[in-house]
């Protein structure tokens, strides 16, 4: 069964600190993995996309890693800001003729001053 599991469910950190969010998946055959940021009351917005051959990708203070062998990804946020408070959703796509997209439940991040 295609699944995407994220941890932790929620996280509270102080402004300026770093944090790492985890994503484990069983989606097959793997096509790509995206991390989305969803601000409260808004639709998700894509942060990064990673394909099978990519191990690391950065977007400003966000760095995503992918281990296709263990089917794990992480999103590292450096020097957190209050505006980083949001849900972060891991989304994995499988290429099964067409594309099948599976959403994780998300990690709710709270950055406190």
Distance CA 42, CA 36 (A): 12
The smaller minimum CB distance to other proteins, of residues 32 and 78, is found at 32
Neighbours of 70 (CB within 10 A): 8
Considering only 18, 46, 81, 83, the residue that binds other proteins (CB under 8 A) is: 46
Distance CA 79, CA 23 (A): 21
Considering only 1, 14, 29, 98, the residue that binds other proteins (CB under 8 A) is: 98
- Choices 11-19, 22-30, 44-52, 58-66; region in contact with other proteins by CB under 8 A: 44-52
């Amino acid at each position: 069964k295609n699944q995407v599991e994220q941890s932790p469910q929620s996280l509270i950190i102080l402004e300026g600190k770093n944090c790492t969010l985890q994503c484990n998946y069983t989606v097959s055959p793997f096509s790509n993995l995206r991390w989305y940021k969803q601000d409260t009351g808004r639709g998700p917005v894509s942060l990064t996309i990673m394909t099978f051959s990519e191990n690391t990708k950065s977007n400003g203070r966000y760095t995503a890693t992918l281990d296709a062998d263990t089917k794990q990804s992480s999103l590292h946020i450096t020097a957190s800001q209050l505006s980083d408070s949001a849900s972060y959703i891991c989304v994995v796509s499988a290429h099964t003729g067409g594309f099948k997209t599976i959403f994780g439940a998300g990690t709710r991040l709270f950055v406190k001053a």
